[in-house]
Chains A and B, each alone.
Chain A
Amino acid sequence: MSAAEIVVTGLHKRYRATRALDGMSFTVRPGLVTGFVGPNGAGKSTTMRVILGLAAADAGTALVAGKPYRSLRHPLRHVGALLDAVAPHPGRTARNHLLWLAHAQGLSARRVDRVIEQVGLTPAARRKAGGYSLGMRQRLGIAAALLGDPPILMLDEPFNGMDPGGIVWMRGFLRSLAAEGRALLVSSHLMSEVQDTADRLVVAGRGRALADAGVAELIAAASGNRVAVRTTARPDATRVLGRAGGAVSATGPDTVTVSGLPADRVAALLTHGAVPFSELTAHRATLEEVYLELTRDAAEFRAATPTEAPR
């Protein structure tokens, strides 16, 4: 195991009647972007606050670089974090906001100017943060996370409030940070925001990780062994494939979906049975489907009882 890692094991946390975390476990590896997705109230923000030592878990451990966060001497040099619902003092300039953070970590003002440049805030650095747009504030938050040049980055909803240009910039930026060998944990309640960026996904629901796997792996698992066939002779196709052991269901006026048979076997059976077909594609689930499938129960649970954890 490399040092640049987050290891979360069996976190439990209750807020009065609400079970905010219920056995949350996952790992974040170096050089990869790990997407942390799940509906609102799934426990993403709470998990991040527990990792940072801001909230205490009732049970379980969260280690960064093999240690509890609170035992790190200059923690921002190990872990950089962008937290949701954290605003800089409105009357302080962006540069001064970063300056006190730098001083807390024994870093110099040179480092401050470097990260301001990195996130593209140089022209606005000496303006008061109170006048910043949400997108600019997110950039300032990223700058703060990068201040200590940490091998681990944890970003809670970094795409929030960003315009389309900002989202594209953020995606590229996150990829380049991972390419430098850093471990990134990026949360979002929208799968579409992370699907092009993440290498791995932790899908959260009802306070635990419903899945912790590579993106390709998750898609393969959700796609199953399914083949979509376009044919004008639907009854014939159903009969031929059914006899060979495939489960066939009609998915359109001239399409059927077969599961349980590989694509080449389906092609051979149809040709052999002289059933005409014009298209044959292996079904590939989208991440959106994977996500919906995994979080369906969690979302239903949420609709029945509000479980939004207090921030």
Chain B
Amino acid sequence: MRTALHAEWTKLRTAAGPRWLLLGTIVATVALSTAATSMATCTAGGCGGDTTRLALTGVCLGQATIAILAAQTIGGEYGTGMIRSTLAAVPRRGTAFAAKAVALTGVVALGGTAAALGSVLAGRLVLPESGDRALSLAGGPTLRAVLGTVLYLVLIGLLSLGIATAVRDSATGVGLVLGLLYVLPILSATVGDLHWRRLLERAAPMSAGLSVQDTTDPGGPSLGPWAGLGVTAGWAAAALLAGGLLLRARDV
């Protein structure tokens, strides 16, 4: 496992794609977050709404580049046939797959941390004094929101890795993940029945997972921060399991 992990790390390090995508994630997240925060209207009493969540809005965009990065780590190998080199070098497929997942987790955690901290920092610079207090990392809920956002990005990466492995193609994998992330919320908004709509919102990986960013009204109609992230984790686990089992069972 150690050598397999070393190999996967070298792969990520030596291709230009992951580097640019990670940089893109950070830039896109911070940029959108800053834009969202700058539109907040603050009074002496506060900025209204959930400032922390607002300052981390950019993740909605950053998750897309993470999904692409993750899907490419294995989908690209299917495209070139290099997956055969990978599995000839590490014939235990569970190990090969786990090494990919762990290396990806490390890279996304790194990029995600930069993106989340960058967003919060930008928020503090943009907001007046009163909003500043809400964005202090010393505050428990804000710290939780930042940490949760990093974990959320990691889970989206793993979800994308699992799906791309199952479908053996980057483009298809990315399409499915983005559909799951962005189309599901749109669909749920069209559902008239309140009960079903709420159920869909609680089950969708994005709306459920991002409740980890809530600092003003945790609980409420949503699942609560950690339970919400747990739903996303469930999606990621299911995708990894499906991808892993298919990788073990199929010829390459």
Contacts and interface: CB of A to CB of B under 8 A. Distances in A.
A and B bound? yes
Contacts of A86: 80-82, 84-85
B3 A54 contact: no
B245 interface: no
Contacts of A91: 15-17
Contacts of B86: 104
B126 interface: no
B15 A106 contact: no
A93 interface: yes
B51 to A, nearest CB: 41
A104 B87 contact: no
B7 interface: yes
Contact-residue size bin, chain B (C-beta under 8 Å from the other chain): 20 to 34
B92 A104 contact: no
A104 B7 contact: yes
Contacts of A54: 84, 87-88, 251-252
A178 B87 CA distance: 26
A55 B252 contact: yes
B80 A49 contact: no
Interface string A37-78: 000000000000100111110000000000001101011100
A89 interface: yes
A100 B252 contact: no
Contact of A76 (B77, B88, B92): B88
Contacts of A69: 91
A120 interface: no
B198 interface: no
Interface of B: 3-4, 6-11, 14-17, 76-77, 80-82, 84-92, 251-252
Interface of A: 49, 52-56, 69-70, 72, 74-76, 81, 83, 85-93, 96, 99-101, 103-106, 144
Given A93-B14, A104-B4, A144-B85, 16 more contacts: A53-B91, A54-B251, A69-B91, A70-B91, A74-B3, A86-B82, A89-B15, A89-B76, A89-B80, A89-B82, A91-B15, A91-B17, A101-B85, A103-B6, A104-B86, A105-B3
20 contacts: A52-B84, A54-B88, A55-B252, A69-B91, A70-B91, A75-B89, A85-B81, A86-B81, A88-B82, A90-B80, A91-B15, A99-B14, A100-B14, A103-B9, A104-B86, A104-B89, A104-B90, A105-B3, A105-B89, A106-B3
